[in-house]
Amino acid sequence: MPVIRVEDLTVGYGDRVILENVSFEVRRGEGFVVLGTSGCGKTTLLRSLIGLEPVQAGRIWIGEDELTGADDARRLRILRRFGVMFQNGALFGSLNLLENVRLPLEEFSTLNREAMDFIARMKLEMVGLKGAEERLPAELSGGMQKRAAIARAMVLDPEILFLDEPSAGLDPVTSAGLDRLILDLAEALGITFVVVTHELASIFAIASRVIMLDREQRGIIATGTPAALRDAPPNDKVRQFFRREAAEVKR
Amino acid sequence: MNSLASRKPTTADECPGWQAGLDADGTRRIELSGVLDRERVEILWVRANDFVREDHSERWVVNVRGVSELDGAGLALILRLQADVLARGGRFEVEGLSEAHRRLLARFDPKGYAERVAVEPCCQRLPDQVGRATAQIWDDFRTQVTFIGELTAAFAEAVRRPRSVRWSDVWLAAERAGADALPIVALIAGLVGLVLAFQSAMAMRPYGAEIYVANLVTLAMLRELGPLMTAIILAGRSGGAFAAEIGTMTVNDEVAALKTMGLKPVSFLAVPRVLGLVLMVPFLALFANLAGILGGAVMFLTLDYPMSAYFDQVLSSAEPRHLLSGLVKSVAFGLTVAGVGCLRGLQTARGPSAVGASTTRAVVAGILLIVILDAVLGTVFYFIGF
């Protein structure tokens, strides 16, 4: 059974439709990457999948639970199954990193304080932020904030982890370390990753399958493994993306 | 053999188990079983920690072959044990861990996890508190002196080169702090005058001296309450606004951008605001005086005196020195309110709550300094007969 199932999803803002009749499935334990050029609706799709963006039509299942049209109790149950890392980190500015990461444990676990602190420190070390526990988000660089946000998203060991542009703004070494971490977590803990990213290196490192969205077609224009799409692109847009070619300027 | 497996949760298979045994060679052997996840690891956490702390075997082997599920919290328990054993010089092995879990566990350096996380003290010790408070007050004092020096130098420069002042910002600050504040200043000063008149009339009635209520209201408004009420309103209204505006600029690195362009934040941001407010505050104080005296007149309508008697008393008691001393105070208050607002704005730290904190500090410090300054000036004016 797929861990995420999307059927004929249509999302937009008012009269402006961003995505139309989008359907796909994400299998358990896979690294699923959503890619596409700027403004094609990647983040909108991600926000729909996590229930932040109301859908105009279509259905979304997280496991066996349908997210679209779920009542509050079911919605809360579904939300606990995934963690989310937002593009800008979205850390709470008044809490230090340890408190930020510990917060979901305080709300959704019965662990004692020592265990919660221990696990939060582990997650911070996992993303390379050991020693920064007491620092406030404002004292960190953008990349460090992002890594702390990943630690917070992972702290409950969710089934699915949604990451919005995790590598953007990171140096290549940190970015590669993050990719390695994603692979280790997927393998050891069976976490499914849904990642929105532009970074080709990350795509090839972590993606077992990708979908590519297109702004003009308002939907998916390619599905497959990164290597297959690179080697046999089904259309020009996919070819341009994987070969990093500039689109021709139309007069 | 110790067994913790008898404690609750869902099914017996899922319940995490802990079996401790001792090998012939002194190796402490721990057999973990069941589901070790966030929901269930709590059952073992405290007991396992206590056990490893009390048992000082040198070699430890933890076998997880019987564990059916292991998540991050389960790995945390293993790391917790490992850290404690290694910290006291022991040896630690884990058996039965999958390659993927082993790789994940290897990401952590057990050093640093051995010490228990200190529970945050509920309160600091008194000497610590006194020391920190003293250091903070001293730092604050130094910063204020530095700021006053910079502001004075910036004003001296402004006098020398008036064209260097951003006059458009001055008029904007004057409009916002002055003209826009007129209704609230008039309302509050008028009501204060009214209340003052009623209260003093009660005290004077037994002596038949109600006519002197006019004198009291006039004197109190001109010398004290007009400037004071105006300054307090400005501290809440304009001082807070200055701190919030400049604080937001600090958080957004606009102040840093000014510095990198070679511009002085005090000249660029503080001087126009201070100048705008100081220019307007005497007029606001005059307006407050007038509103307060008119408020007193409303009370006078309830007495059996003609209204002309009230204004005769007002004119006879309103000596120029009373008016002047109030205006001198108002200028001093204006300088204080604007200066503190700008200073707190420039001192804004990072983070989303920093602007709010600066605004609060500006208002509180502004009002406090106004009252202190009022007491000092009131005493000085009394002794010099001004």
**pLDDT tens string B253-312:** 788 878 877 788 899 899 999 999 999 999 999 999 999 999 999 988 888 888 899 999
* A121 contacts in chain B (CB < 8 Å): 113, 117
Residue B237: per-residue pLDDT: 93
Cross-chain Cβ contact A115/B45 below 8 Å: yes
Can you give the pLDDT at residue B375?
95
Using N-to-C axis directions, what is the helix angle for B72-87 and A113-126, rounded to 10°?
90
pLDDT in tens, A197-230: 888 888 999 999 999 999 989 999 999 999 999 9
Put simply, the answer to whether A189 touches B104 (Cβ < 8 Å) is yes
Closest Cβ–Cβ partner in B38, B100, B351 for A94: B351
State whether A122 and B72 contact (CB < 8 Å). yes
Please compute the mean of the pLDDT values over residues B76-91 and round it to a whole number: 89
Per residue in B118-172, pLDDT tens?
445 556 688 888 998 999 889 888 988 999 999 999 999 999 988 888 898 999 9
| pLDDT-derived band at B324, boundaries 50, 70, 90 | very high
A237 belongs to a structural domain: no
State residue A249's pLDDT score: 43
- B42 vs A93, A111, A188: nearest CB: A111
B1-33 residue pLDDT tens? 333 333 344 566 678 888 888 888 889 999 998
Contacts with B73 from chain A: Cβ below 8 Å: 111, 115, 119, 157
% pLDDT > 70, chain B: 94
Contact A184 B80 (CB under 8 A): no
Best to test chain A binding among B47, B52, B71 (most A CBs inside 10 Å): B71
Residue of A nearest to B353 (CA): A94
Chain B residue numbers touching A125 (CB-CB < 8 A):
107-109
Q: Where are the alpha helices (DSSP H) in B301-349?
A: 307-317, 320-346
The three-class DSSP label of residue B60 is strand
- Answer whether residue A124 is part of any domain: yes
**Helix, strand, coil % in chain B, rounded to nearest 5:** 70, 10, 20
Most confident residue range from A69-73, B76-80, B287-291: B287-291
User: Residues A68-76: contacts with CB within 8 Å, 24+ apart?
Assistant: A75/A51
* Both tokens assigned to A186: 């997927």
Contact between chains at A184 and B107 (C-beta distance less than 8 A): yes
Nearest 5°: phi and psi at A34? -105, 120
Give B191's pLDDT tier (boundaries 50, 70, 90). Answer: very high
* Closest by Cα among B135, B137, B210, B221 to B185: B221
Class in CATH terms, B2-105: alpha beta
Of B76, B98, B100, nearest to A118 by CB-CB distance is B76
Interface of A with B (CB under 8 A): 93-94, 105, 109-115, 117-119, 121-123, 125-126, 130, 136-139, 154-157, 181, 184-185, 187-189
pLDDT class for A120, splitting at 50, 70, 90? very high
Q: Which residues of chain B make contact with A157, given a CB cutoff of 8 A?
A: 37-38, 71-73
One DSSP character per residue, chain A reads: --SEEEEEEEEEETTEEEEEEEEEEE-TT-EEEEEESTTSSHHHHHHHHTT-S--SEEEEEETTEE-TT--HHHHHHHHTTEEEE-TT----TTS-HHHHHHHHHHHH----HHHHHHHHHHHHHHTT-TT-TT--GGGS-HHHHHHHHHHHHHTT--SEEEEESSSTT--HHHHHHHHHHHHHHHHHH--EEEEE---HHHHHHH-SEEEEEETTTTEEEEEE-HHHHHHS-SSHHHHHHHTTPPPPPP-
Residue numbers in A near B98 (CB within 8 A):
188
In a domain, A1, yes or no: no
Interface of chain B toward chain A, CB-CB under 8 angstroms = 37-39, 41-42, 45-46, 49, 71-73, 75-76, 79-80, 98, 100-101, 103-104, 107-109, 112-113, 116-117, 119, 349-354
DSSP code string of B114-130: SSPPPPPPSS--HHHHH
Helices (H), B36-98: 42-54, 72-87
Q: Which residues of A touch B116 (CB under 8 A)?
A: 114
State the Cα–Cα distance between residues A193 and A212, nearest whole angstrom: 16
Strand ranges (E), chain B: 2-3, 17-22, 28-36, 59-70, 91-95
**Distance from the B262 Cα atom to the nearest Cα atom in chain A, whole angstroms:** 25
B28-36 and B59-70 strand pairing:
parallel
**What is the token pair recorded at B314?**
């007002």
* Residue-level pLDDT at B125: 81
Whether residue A119 is contained in a domain is answered as yes
Q: Do B350 and A119 touch (CB under 8 A)?
A: no
- Quick one: what percent of chain B has pLDDT higher than 90? 51
Q: Among candidates B59, B113, B44, which has minimal Cα distance to B84?
A: B113
Q: Give burial (CB, 10 Å; 0-12/13-18/19+) of B318.
A: middle
CATH 3.30.750.24 domain span(s) along chain B: 2-105
- Residue A227 to chain B, least CA–CA distance (Å): 24
Min Cα separation A82/chain B (Å): 14
pLDDT over 70 percentage in chain A: 97
Query: Residue B98: is its pLDDT beyond 70?
Result: yes
Which has more pLDDT, B342 or A185?
B342
Mutation pick from A150, A189, A192 vs chain B, by most beta carbons of B within 10 Å, is: A189
The number of folded domains in chain A is: 1
Check: CB of residue A16 under 8 Å from CB of residue A205.
Answer: no
Burial state string for B326-345 with b = 16 or more CB within 10 A and e = fewer than 16 = bbebbebbbbbbbbbbbbbb
Asked whether residue A251 carries a pLDDT value surpassing 60, the answer given is no
Burial level of A93, CB count in 10 A (0-12/13-18/19+)? middle
Phi, psi of B108 (to 5 degrees): -100, 140
Give the pLDDT band (50/70/90) at residue B234.
very high
* List of residues 6+ apart from A13 with CB closer than 8 A: none
- Determine, for residues B37 and A157 on separate chains, whether the beta-carbon distance falls below 8 Å: yes
Mean pLDDT of B218-226: 94
In a domain, A118, yes or no: yes
Full domain range(s) for residue A122: 91-144
Instruction: Please judge whether B113 and A109 are an interchain contact, meaning their C-beta atoms are less than 8 angstroms apart.
Output: no
- Amino acid B315 reads L
User: Do the Cβ atoms of A114 and B113 come within 8 Å?
Assistant: no
Chain B: residue whose CA lies nearest to A159: B71
Task: Give the residue-averaged pLDDT of B339-359.
Answer: 89
CA distance A119 to chain B (A): 6
Q: What is the pLDDT of residue B9?
A: 45
Q: Is residue A102 part of a domain?
A: yes
- By C-alpha distance, the chain B residue nearest A157 is B72
Residues of B in Cβ contact (< 8 Å) with A181 = 107
Q: How many CB pairs under 8 A join A and B?
A: 89
Chain B residue numbers touching A187 (CB-CB < 8 A): 100, 103
Whether the CB-CB separation of A75 and A51 falls below 8 Å is answered with yes
Confidence of residue A250 (pLDDT cuts 50, 70, 90): very low
Q: Contacts of residue B82 in chain A, CB cutoff 8 Å?
A: none
CB A178 within 8 A of CB A146: no
d(CA B307, CA B301): 7
> Sign of dihedral through CA atoms B289, B294, B298, B301?
positive
Residue of A nearest to B115 (CA): A118
If one compares A168 and B232, the residue with the highest pLDDT of the two is B232
A82-87: average pLDDT = 88
A212 is a domain residue: no
CA distance B310 to chain A (A): 57
What integer best gives the mean pLDDT of chain B?
Answer: 88
pLDDT at B68: 87
